[in-house]
Structures are given as structure tokens and as C-alpha cells.
Amino acid sequence: GRRLARGDVQAVIDRVQARVDPDQRRSVTPHGLRHTTATHLLADAVDMDAVRRVLGHSDLSTLGRYRDELPGELEVAMRSHPLLRESGPPR
């Protein structure tokens, strides 16, 4: 019923990490989870304003760092643009 605080998320991470074999553990932080969530939402074409609100950002420009990390985003956009397709524009 309330927002999760960083400490709440860290407590969950710590409990999960305690159950993982020490040789298999990775560094996980609340910020890393937040960053990964934003990147995945944007990669799945979730509306940028919705992602902004989920993250609590006041400005869409702050999402640039997440968007810029999407692998192959420019190439996908270029392949899908009708004027840039190899077969030419659709009729």
C-alpha cells in the first residue's frame, strides 16, 4: 500500500542473494534493477511517458540514457522505415 523505498528493495535483493550459490552471485542493486526495468520497458515499445511516470521522472529527456542503450534500435528503425527499405517504399 506504499511506495517501495530503496532499503525495502535492498532487503529483498539480500534475501534472494542469500539463497544463491556464492559462486553464482552477481552484483545487484536497486538502481541496477530500476535501470534494467526502464531499458526493458522501452525495448518493448512501452509509451515513453508511461515509463517516465513509473520511474518518477519529471522530464522525458531523462529517459535518453535508457533509450540510448537499446541494442540495434537505430538499425531496426531504419529497416522499418518505408523510405529506407531495400525493396523501396510500399505502394
pLDDT (tens digit, 0 to 9) for every residue of the chain, 91 residues total? 788 888 999 999 999 999 999 898 888 898 888 888 888 888 788 888 888 888 888 888 777 777 666 666 656 655 665 655 555 455 4
The reply to whether the predicted model has a pTM over 0.75 is no
Q: Which of 59, 61, 65 is nearest to 34 (CA)?
A: 65
Q: For residues 51 and 41, is the Cβ–Cβ distance under 8 A?
A: yes
Per-residue model confidence (pLDDT) at position 12: 93
